[in-house]
Copies of this chain bind each other. A is one copy, B any other.
């Protein structure tokens, strides 16, 4: 298993929502900025909504952040949009021999070490907030810019 582009896309979306609070951003506009399909954006927004990070509006359209950027960690975003990839994001070979004492035990052998690796990763993700990204953004962009295109 593995970590897809979804986390990066979701962070991109959240940065957009945080930066352009003054205007309505539709999935179409967001997709332009992210460089992907609007349906993908909608699916991501749905997941973020289920996690309570954003609110979307049917009919009129547009999405808004529902938490302060200091309270949104990368871990929350990742869990929201790609949770299933975490458990087992280090690939396991699927057919170890049950006849071999090593093959029979390899999964349980790797469980603890891999768990520690994932812990290290999770802790790092929990320590980074959306606000930190925004701070970097403000540093990189002294002048304000216009949204998508």
Contacts and interface: CB of A to CB of B under 8 A. Distances in A.
A51 B89 CA distance: 24
Interface string A110-149: 1011001101110111011000110011001100111111
Interface residues of A, number: 63
A74 B114 CA distance: 10
Interface of A: 1-9, 11-12, 15-16, 19, 32-36, 74, 89-97, 99-103, 105-106, 108-110, 112-113, 116-117, 119-121, 123-125, 127-128, 132-133, 136-137, 140-141, 144-149
Closest 7 CB pairs of A and B: A2-B2, A35-B95, A101-B145, A120-B124, A99-B149, A5-B91, A33-B100
